[in-house]
Structure 1
């Protein structure tokens, strides 16, 4: 693809920059205004992250075929 016609990354578009700025401002506000609530719920958020990571990180390795070995038809390796 020609470099002059390549689409810019989402983060370099005006909408991406504005979305990033809004996310940073909202995060700072929530940290300042609700720090006690956030810190009280942090252990539960960590526990909730475990099953979510398990669900979303297992889709790339091909499933749970534990113990599946390739067949060699009885021929020795050598």
Structure 2
């Protein structure tokens, strides 16, 4: 915040960019995973990622099943070249 009590636009822009990027990456990962590779409902994770950045962070930390195995060829193709 600056002295006048208004938030700094650059800081708000940076936070917005981080939030949109995190949500987009979360949605892309959810699109490529089967329901068995995700803990909980995919729709709930999508909603959580849109509502706040912590929703995306929570998905990446706890929502993905690590024991689900590697992505299939079709799933890798859906992600695109890396």
Which TM-score band (shorter chain)?
Answer: 0.3 to 0.5
TM-score, normalised relative to structure 2: 0.34
Q: Which structure is higher in helix share?
A: 2
The structure with the larger Rg is 1
